[in-house]
A and B are shown apart, each in its own frame.
Chain A
Amino acid sequence: MASSDKEQWRRRTLDPALKARAQRRDEFVTDSGLEVDTAYADDDLSDGGFDHKQDLGNPGEYPFTRGVQPTMYRGRLWTMRQYSGYATAEESNRRYRYLLEQGQTGLSVAFDLPTQIGYDSDHPLARGEVGKVGVPICHLEDMETLLEGIPLDKVSTSMTINATASVLLCLYAAVAKKRGVPLSKISGTLQNDILKEYIARGTYIYPPKPSMRLVVDVFKYCSAHIPRWNTISVSGYHMREAGATAVQELAFTFANAIEYVQSAVDAGLDVDEFAGRVSFFFVSHNNIFEEAAKFRAARRMWAKIMKERFRAQNPRSMRLRFHTQTAGVTLTAQQPDNNVVRTTLQALAAVLGGTQSLHVNSRDEALSLPSEESVQISLRTQQILAHETGIADVVDPLGGSYYVEDLTRRLEEGAWEYIRRIDDMGGAVDSLEQGFQMGEIHQAAFQHQMEVESGRRTIVGVNKYKSEDAPTGGLLKVDEEAARQQTARLERVRGERDGAAASAALARLEEVARSDENTVEAILECVENYCTLGEICDVFRGVFGEQRELAGL
């Protein structure tokens, strides 16, 4: 083969230049450790077997590398969805209304840890945790308070909830029913991604198998009754935050997604009946081109998975729609205002990558929950990107970049390699039960830490360019009064409800849990009778058992 143009350039111009003067580093790599060449050219694409039609296609067409819509943000901007919730339902409701007034276009509810792990606010294990990282929701009245004054047929609501996802969905649906809003009109997203909880986030309750059944029950129920609800948001975010590389984020997310789709198909659902409601959640990290390439690779991979592996027919099933959040782990406690710059660049990468919705982290989140002022800057960051920069005016502006196309391919290849390994282990559940994903993530996290400590990786303000900080003021603090109010209301609701009806609903739920009937209807009946989240989860704990931590150290 004749030596390529790039090869000739290397010999003629680059090598002499390198002899005259060394580069800043011997080798350059992305955050995921992919080697980065000096410059990219046409040759890199042809060497990688790049096929314009097959690998890129057109916007809105298979394999959707360039975007799931033909017009993307020219038609409609991404949904600006800031994740929030804390203290009590009243307090969180105030924050939501404030955000909507400020131009936010969707809600994103953060629940506190007891709610996520199925404990009522007065449970002994909830001590100190009530209202801290999110809002406590124990029963229908809490949910009504949370959604007070919010038009459920107009605002879409995303709920970060997993082990208790179907309970929270039922609470939301019950509020809609009480207000006379048809379930066919409500829209939103449940995270409902239990597998990544075992791998990285930790809010599981039951063992994987019954948990998978609860996930599939939601798929079935929603496809029949709440058609506009995204029934799952398969999440790479938390695995990446736990230390995974971009390649691992893609691979472990899709390995989990494959497990969910397979379980639903095995349970008798037609793939095109539910796959259009499967959504995703990724992080946007610091390395701009790698991240933008990751989102593009993700779309291509999902399209192939659905078409080739699951034989989906409907293009809707093949379109990867995703939410993005900037990377919490990149926020520094030192010189926290610098975080505004970091999150802006991360948000830029998410938009260049074609996200459907976005949360921008706040500058003070390495120190505490964000203050209202910080949250406003986050929202304004999104609005500036949308309206002042022009990046929303062209679809896939990085498409065709030699570097980005090459990165897109290499990220995809790395991820397929992992997926093959996981398939060989029997799929995502089997491999996580052996601690495989956790081990890989821990290894990457440790390596990252060592690179920071050795100075191989620079973090401005942390291991370089340090300065004495004035302590940050104006941090948000959740006071203990919030927890007291919450438990007082819980006690009142338990006292006022029809006790016999609540007990009957719980007994019925147990019967359903022991059978193979769908659990969602029975949960709905429970919440409408003011059974609490803790009571409902206790029924499931009794039937399914509880999961212990799968991987130590």
Chain B
Amino acid sequence: MMAEAERIIRVLVAKPGLDGHDRGAKVIARALRDAGMEVVYTGIRQTPRMIVETALQEDVDVIGLSILSGAHMELFPEIILGLRENGMEDVLLVAGGIIPLEDHPELQEMGMRGIFGPGASTQDIVSFIRESVGARPVG
């Protein structure tokens, strides 16, 4: 664990779409920060383009998307496409909120690596990010 901690993981926590339910996003942003990561939180009502641009500017290792409105199947693919167009397919993508199980396979196929629903613990999310980023080649 110490070896991984030498490199600070940069995370973008973003809220795509129009829903204002930001309790989960803010709690997770803080938990990741407390776990030693550098966290940029976008705030609510972000378009896919805004999220991709922020991810580029901030040069993040991880993007966490939080959405509860049900628009994820429209908005996530746009974000993933935007990342690809900018050569950011290495970025670890995770999502949370209300994302029905039946949508998980399609999202995973698109490159969503972790999907954390209601009841997920922040410690599990921290561990998942550490392990997944640690396993990736570092640029």
Chain A residues in the interface with B (C-beta under 8 A): 113-114, 116-117, 125-129, 132-133, 197, 200-203, 241-243, 329, 331-334, 366-369, 442, 445-446, 449, 452-453, 459, 462-463, 471, 475, 477-478, 549, 552-553
Contacts and interface: CB of A to CB of B under 8 A. Distances in A.
B71 A549 contact: no
A367 B69 contact: no
A201 B20 contact: yes
Given A202-B22, A368-B98, 5 more contacts: A125-B45, A366-B117, A368-B100, A369-B70, A453-B123
Nearest to B70: A132
Contact of B73 (A128, A243, A445, A475): A128
B108 interface: no
Contacts of B69: 113, 128-129, 132-133
A132 B118 contact: no
Interface stretch (B23-31, B80-88, B130-138): B23-31
25 contacts: A114-B18, A116-B18, A125-B18, A128-B71, A128-B74, A129-B17, A129-B70, A132-B71, A133-B19, A202-B20, A202-B22, A242-B22, A329-B23, A333-B119, A366-B98, A366-B119, A367-B100, A367-B101, A442-B30, A445-B27, A453-B123, A463-B121, A549-B43, A549-B45, A552-B41
Nearest to A241: B23
Contacts of A453: 121-123
B47 interface: yes
A333 B118 contact: yes
B35 interface: no
B112 to A, nearest CB: 16
| Chain B, interface SS category | loop
B102 to A, nearest CB: 8
Contact of B23 (A129, A445, A478): A445
A552 B43 contact: yes
Contacts of A445: 23, 26-27
Which 10 A-B residue pairs are closest in the complex by CB-CB distance?
A202-B20, A128-B74, A128-B71, A113-B18, A132-B70, A549-B43, A333-B118, A462-B119, A553-B41, A366-B118
| Chain A, interface SS category | loop
B118 A477 contact: no
Interface in B5-33: 17-23, 26-27, 29-31
A128 B71 CA distance: 5
A356 B67 CA distance: 32
A267 B83 CA distance: 51
A477 B18 contact: no
Contact of A442 (B26, B100, B101): B26
B67 to A, nearest CB: 9
Contacts of B26: 442, 445-446, 553
A113 B19 CA distance: 7
B23 A243 contact: yes
A459 B119 CA distance: 9
A129 B119 contact: no
Contacts of B31: 446, 449
A63 B83 CA distance: 59
Contacts of A202: 19-22, 44-45
Contacts of A442: 26-27, 30
Contacts of B19: 113, 133, 202
A200 B121 CA distance: 22
A475 B121 CA distance: 24
Q: Which of A197, A202, A369, A471 has the most CB of B within 10 A?
A: A202
Given A128-B71, A133-B70, A242-B23, A549 B44 contact: yes
